[in-house]
């Protein structure tokens, strides 16, 4: 299905979904290729730097349509930017460790650029334009500290890691769809209404390593039980187009009966009035030869992510069955490790270049 | 100990079986921990600690030194290494229980009751309060720089306790606190094995994380070094206050 491409850019940088289109089952289809560029500012960027960055971003938008078939982008600014270069000290909190078993590097880059497209050459051009050697390059004001690449889309994980037997229908490394109708916070609901981030949102960006070989050694029903809920089979889950069968009001009963915490079932308890509070933009990666996920989560407040993650941990699952541990038989906790975390504020498009800087 | 649950979770056969399963076939993390020195062992122990913590199996250690000893013994029957990693917890939990009631001491016992696991800073190489002195009621937040040592991987524990003589207090340092990091001390020694240096850089500490004591706890008759003889029932342990 061809995704729409538009010359109109919405107020919010994060407003991508109208361009996603749907697959044959009605599920949203995000861009296939992604790159994250983490950067630190050099010196004290002023109006000239802001105009230069805006010119670079605008040139890319002029060059490519707005959508999967063109280019989608966001620019986010981290705690160090807000605390050191603006009057908005404390606007974005530092990232922190979010489970007992993880030791992530808690990163504090000044900025993050997220580019997404169905076409790798578009991403390569965006990166070269802003961080290469041309007229629109930002090297005078920004130094790149990390570049992260990845993909999401039907068949791409199976192509990337053919030995694992990942179903060709899967867009992600764990072998199932994770985005269904109703399983995401809406872009409208995560948009901030007032203040320096009015019209924008917040982002939590983590690097997750996945034990894909151990995961794919499980049979499909075992995977479905851990990833969704033990009351559902893989076949049932594969057929989903609407919201995952989380049955979260029956969480305690299910854990007690089956001795298994379903990841989606546990995480769904973080919803408010059955509406998710985070909008996931995660994509698979093989960066550094380590299969995993770059988990980009957008939410109105960073605490929405923190709450979701805390509840997803299923730490209370152990209360309902003695065989359930913090990781053992507890969702996908035994199959992933968060190695990096970072937090950002994403201003509106009009304020994306060095926002709220002191004069 | 009236403030602890009457029937805490016990290390029954089902829990023991789960622990054996974890140690025999741990879910090795794919990232940072297992890549470090002694990684696979640490990863297995960490998952076992996660289980002990989440199932609140070590809560009983705070009941009495005898209960703490029994906990270590029962863990040793499952895995002696696992038991050894909890020997400081088994020392510290009853010691804290025996201290007079105070907000900081009660909070630590509450954390233990929720399943948290403690260890002891076996060495304090450096310690400085940025404001010149420890936080107190007038100035509840302080910032500390320091270098301390642990005899096990600090990520196995929720809290490291250390004696800070200038404040005459036990400092309870959460291992997840911002600007706290750790690295192995190289090389491991033949007698003490692998040690870990924990570095604090401007780490925030609240006054309620300081348990004020008159003297170094190691001089107290209630103090028992791990591996030392457990006190006889009814021996010289101070009576806790209500």
CATH number of residue B208's parent domain: 2.40.110.10
**A343 in Cβ contact with A301 (< 8 Å):** no
In a domain, B242, yes or no: no
Distance of CA A164 to the CA centre of its chain: 24
Place of tokens 């233990």: B112
**Confidence bin at B4 (pLDDT 50/70/90):** very low
**B123 and B99 housed in the same domain:** no
CA B197, CA B204: separation in Å to the nearest integer?
A: 18
| DSSP letters for A213-262 | HHHHTS-HHHHHHHHT-TTS-HHHHHT--BS----GGGHHHHHHHHS-B-
In a domain, B66, yes or no: yes
Q: Residue B10 burial by CB count (10 A; 0-12/13-18/19+): exposed, middle or buried?
A: middle
CA B23, CA B21: separation in Å to the nearest integer?
A: 6
**A181 and A289 housed in the same domain:** no
DSSP letter assigned to residue A275: B
In a domain, B4, yes or no: no
The string of pLDDT tens digits covering residues A22-76 is: 888 778 899 999 999 999 999 999 999 999 999 999 999 999 999 999 999 999 9
**B41 and B87 housed in the same domain:** yes
**A173 and A125 housed in the same domain:** yes
By Cβ distance, the residue of B15, B27, B55 closest to A335 is B27
Q: Sign of the C-alpha dihedral, residues A167, A171, A176, A180?
A: negative
CA B43, CA B69: separation in Å to the nearest integer?
A: 25
CATH number (domain holding residue A27) = 3.30.70.100
In a domain, A114, yes or no: yes
The string of pLDDT tens digits covering residues B73-83 is: 999 999 999 99
Q: Tokens for B139?
A: 């100035």
Q: How many CB atoms lie within 10 A of CB A159?
A: 11
In a domain, A93, yes or no: no
Query: Going by C-beta distance under 8 Å and a sequence separation of 6 or more, which residues neighbour residue A235?
Result: none
| Range scoring the smallest mean pLDDT among A23-27, A141-145, B188-192 | B188-192
**A288 and A164 housed in the same domain:** no
Place of tokens 């806790």: B240
Which of B39, B71, B103 is the last residue in one of the domains? B103
**A216 and A149 housed in the same domain:** no
CA A1, CA A21: separation in Å to the nearest integer?
A: 7
In a domain, A351, yes or no: no
Radius of gyration of chain A (CA): 20
**B122 and B98 housed in the same domain:** no
**B39 and B125 housed in the same domain:** no
- For residue A212, the chain B residue with the least C-alpha distance is B30
**B60 in Cβ contact with B11 (< 8 Å):** no
| Range scoring the smallest mean pLDDT among A14-18, A195-199, B35-39, B144-148 | B35-39
Q: What is residue A351's predicted lDDT score, i.e. its pLDDT?
A: 97
**B96 and B127 housed in the same domain:** no
pLDDT at position B3 over 70: no
Set of chain A residues whose Cβ sits within 8 Å of the Cβ of B55: 318, 322, 325
What backbone torsions phi and psi does residue A164 show, to the nearest 5 degrees? -85, -15
How many residues does the structure list for chain B?
242
In a domain, B160, yes or no: yes
Query: Taking the CA of residue A341 as centre, how many other CA atoms within 13 Å lie in the half-sphere pointing to its CB?
Result: 19
In a domain, A356, yes or no: no
Which residue range forms the structural domain that includes residue A126? Answer: 17-85+102-186
CA B118, CA B172: separation in Å to the nearest integer?
A: 9
Q: Tokens for A217?
A: 């050694």
**A171 and A216 housed in the same domain:** no
Which of A137, A169, A186 is the last residue in one of the domains? A186
**B214 and B124 housed in the same domain:** yes
Question: Is any Cβ of chain B less than 8 angstroms from the Cβ of A339?
Answer: yes
Angle at B229 between CA B228 and CA B230, to 5 degrees: 115
In a domain, A10, yes or no: no
**A120 and A240 housed in the same domain:** no
- Interchain contact, A327 vs B55, CB within 8 Å: no
Q: Tokens for B122?
A: 């076996």
Identify the contact set of chain B against chain A, taking CB-CB distances under 8 A: 12, 14-15, 18, 21-22, 27-33, 46-47, 50-51, 53-55, 155, 158, 176, 178
In a domain, B109, yes or no: no
Query: Going by C-beta distance under 8 Å and a sequence separation of 6 or more, which residues neighbour residue A262?
Result: A225, A226, A227, A228, A229, A230, A231, A232, A246, A254, A331
**A21 and A159 housed in the same domain:** yes
Q: How far is B58 from chain A (nearest CA, A)?
A: 14
**pLDDT, mean over chain A:** 92
What is the number of domains present in chain B? 2
**Confidence bin at B241 (pLDDT 50/70/90):** very low
Which residue range forms the structural domain that includes residue B99? Answer: 13-103
By Cβ distance, the residue of B28, B31, B155 closest to A339 is B31
**A156 and A270 housed in the same domain:** no
**A110 and A244 housed in the same domain:** no
Q: How far is A103 from chain B (nearest CA, A)?
A: 7
**B192 and B140 housed in the same domain:** yes
**A244 and A182 housed in the same domain:** no
Set of chain B residues whose Cβ sits within 8 Å of the Cβ of A102: 31
**pLDDT, mean over chain B:** 86
Mean pLDDT over B96-118 rounds to: 95
What is the number of domains present in chain A? 2
**A48 and A158 housed in the same domain:** yes
- Interchain contact, A328 vs B21, CB within 8 Å: yes
CA A323, CA A223: separation in Å to the nearest integer?
A: 18
In a domain, A330, yes or no: yes
Set of chain B residues whose Cβ sits within 8 Å of the Cβ of A339: 31-32
**B205 and B127 housed in the same domain:** yes
Angle at A290 between CA A289 and CA A295, to 5 degrees: 125
In a domain, A191, yes or no: no
Q: Residue A120 burial by CB count (10 A; 0-12/13-18/19+): exposed, middle or buried?
A: middle
Q: What is residue A116's predicted lDDT score, i.e. its pLDDT?
A: 98
**A346 in Cβ contact with A74 (< 8 Å):** yes
Question: Is any Cβ of chain B less than 8 angstroms from the Cβ of A336?
Answer: yes
The string of pLDDT tens digits covering residues A291-348 is: 999 999 999 999 999 999 998 888 888 888 888 888 889 999 999 999 999 999 999 9
């Amino acid at each position: 299905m061809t995704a729409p491409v538009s010359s109109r850019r919405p107020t919010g940088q994060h407003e991508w979904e109208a361009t996603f289109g749907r697959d044959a089952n009605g599920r949203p289809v995000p861009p296939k290729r992604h790159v994250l560029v983490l950067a630190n500012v050099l010196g004290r960027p002023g109006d000239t730097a802001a105009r230069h960055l805006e010119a670079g971003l605008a040139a890319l938008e002029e060059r490519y349509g707005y959508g999967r078939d063109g280019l989608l982008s966001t620019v986010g600014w981290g705690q160090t930017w807000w605390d050191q270069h603006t009057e908005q000290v404390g606007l974005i909190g530092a990232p922190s460790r979010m489970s007992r078993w993880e030791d992530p590097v808690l990163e504090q880059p000044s900025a993050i650029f997220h580019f997404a497209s169905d076409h790798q050459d578009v991403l390569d051009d965006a990166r070269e334009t802003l961080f290469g050697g041309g007229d629109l390059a930002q090297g005078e004001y920004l130094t790149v500290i990390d570049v992260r690449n990845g993909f999401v889309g039907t068949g791409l994980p199976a192509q990337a890691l053919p030995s694992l037997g990942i179903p060709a229908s899967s867009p992600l490394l764990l072998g199932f769809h994770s985005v269904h109708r109703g399983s995401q916070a809406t872009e409208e609901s995560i948009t901030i209404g007032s203040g320096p981030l009015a019209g924008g949102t917040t982002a939590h960006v983590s690097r997750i390593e996945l034990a894909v070989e151990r995961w794919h050694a499980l049979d499909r029903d075992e995977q479905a039980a851990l990833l969704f809920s033990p009351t559902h089979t893989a076949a049932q889950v594969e057929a989903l187009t609407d919201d995952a069968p989380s049955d979260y009001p029956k969480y305690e009963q299910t854990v007690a009966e089956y001795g298994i915490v379903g990841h989606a079932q546990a995480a769904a308890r973080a919803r408010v009035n059955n509406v998710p509070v985070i909008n996931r933009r995660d994509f698979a990666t093989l960066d550094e030869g380590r299969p995993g996920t770059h988990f980009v989560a957008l939410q109105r407040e960073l605490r929405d992510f923190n709450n979701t993650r805390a509840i997803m941990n299923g730490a209370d699952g152990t209360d309902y069955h003695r065989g359930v541990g913090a990781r053992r038989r507890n969702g996908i906790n035994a199959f992933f490790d968060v190695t990096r975390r970072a937090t950002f504020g994403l201003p509106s498009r009009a304020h994306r270049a060095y926002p709220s800087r002191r004069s | 100990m009236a403030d602890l649950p009457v029937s805490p979770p016990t290390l029954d056969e089902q829990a023991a079986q789960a622990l054996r399963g974890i140690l025999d076939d741990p879910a090795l993390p794919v990232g940072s921990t297992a890549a470090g020195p002694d990684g696979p062992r640490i990863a297995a122990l960490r998952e076992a600690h996660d289980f002990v913590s989440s199932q609140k199996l070590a809560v009983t250690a705070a009941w009495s030194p005898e209960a703490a000893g029994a906990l270590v013994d029962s863990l040793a029957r499952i895995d002696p290494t696992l038991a050894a990693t909890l020997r400081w917890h088994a020392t510290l939990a009853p010691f804290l229980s025996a201290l007079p009631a105070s907000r900081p001491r009660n909070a630590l016992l509450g954390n233990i009751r929720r399943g948290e696991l403690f260890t002891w800073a076996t060495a304090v190489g450096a310690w400085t309060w940025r404001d010149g002195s420890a936080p107190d009621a007038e100035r509840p937040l302080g910032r500390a720089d320091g270098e301390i040592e642990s005899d096990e991987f600090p990520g196995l524990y929720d809290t490291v306790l250390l004696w800070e003589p200038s404040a005459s207090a036990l400092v309870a340092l959460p291992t997840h606190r911002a600007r706290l990091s750790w690295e192995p001390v190289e090389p491991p020694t033949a007698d003490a094995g692998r040690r870990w240096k924990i570095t604090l850089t401007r780490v925030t500490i609240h006054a309620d994380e300081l348990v004020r004591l008159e003297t170094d706890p190691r001089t107290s008759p209630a103090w028992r070094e791990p591996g030392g003889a457990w006190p006889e029932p009814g021996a010289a342990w101070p009576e806790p206050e209500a």
